[in-house]
Amino acid sequence: MRATEFDAWFLDLDGVVYIGPELLPGVQETLARWRRAGKLVRFLTNDPRPTREELATRLRSLGVEADASEIVTCGWATGRLLPTIGVQRVFVVGSSGLAEELQRAGLTVVQDGSLPDAVVVGADERLSFLDVVRGAVLVQRGARFIATNNDPSYPLPIGTVPATGAVVCAIRLATGRRPLVVGKPEPLMFRLARETLPAGATALVIGDRMESDILGAHRAGFPAILVASSAFAMPRPGDPRRPDAVVRSLADLFERPPDLPVRVPSTDQWPERVVAGVVLLLVDETRGTLALLPSDGGWQLPWTSLEPLETLEGAAWRLVHHLLQGSAAHLEWVGAVSDTEAVLLRGADGELVHVVGSCFRAAVHQSADTDRVRWHALDSLVEVLPGERVTWIMRRLAPHQ
- In degrees, to the nearest 5, what angle opens at C-alpha 15 toward C-alphas 100 and 18? 70
12 in catalytic set = yes
Nearest to 3 by CA among 212, 244, 232, 248: 244
CB atoms within 10 A of CB 271: 14
Task: Report in angstroms the alpha-carbon separations of 106 from 81, 210, 222, 249, 321.
Answer: 11, 33, 31, 39, 50
Binning the chain into helix, strand and coil, the percentages to the nearest 5 are 30, 30, 40
Q: How many helices (H) and strands (E) does the chain have?
A: 11, 22
By the 10 Å C-beta count (0-12 exposed, 13-18 middle, 19+ buried), 311 is classed as exposed
Nearest to 30 by CA among 46, 9, 44: 9
Phi, psi (rounded to 5 degrees) for 175: -105, -20
Catalytic residue among 7, 12, 124, 379: 12
244 in catalytic set = no
Catalytic residue among 7, 14, 208, 252: 14
Active site residues: 12, 14
